[in-house]
Structure 1
């Protein structure tokens, strides 16, 4: 497990092993989420990179918008 420290300017450094594993790059944006005292950083992903992610997904069992409650 990697550890980081908050600087006097409230900045943190993401450890190198984590940056490499997640292929993070300089200037990449991260969403900051807090829930129950836990902070989570989630890399933003361009929508274009998701193209084709659901290819082959079955459409049976999907509800129409008008049928949703």
Structure 2
């Protein structure tokens, strides 16, 4: 467990072990969410990272006769 201190300008430094484990890079954005009295930092992935994540999904859907 790592402990960080909030600076007078409300900044924190994410410890190296956490940055390496999550693969965080300088300039990467994170979403900040208050959650049950805690602060959650969610790394945002570029939209390009989602490309092809539904490849192979079954898209056949029963349709009504008047729909095409």
TM-score, normalization by structure 1: 0.76
- What aligned pairs does 1:25-40 form with structure 2 within 5 A after superposition? 25-40=25-40
Matches for 1:1-12 after TM superposition, within 5 Å = 1-12=1-12
Whose radius of gyration is greater, 1 or 2? 2
How many equivalent residue pairs?
61
TM-score by length of 2: 0.77
Q: For residue 20 of structure 2, give the secondary structure of its aligned residue in structure 1.
A: helix
Q: Which has the higher helix share?
A: 1
What is the RMSD computed on CA atoms of the aligned residues? 1.5
Displaced runs of 4 or more, over 3 A: 58-61
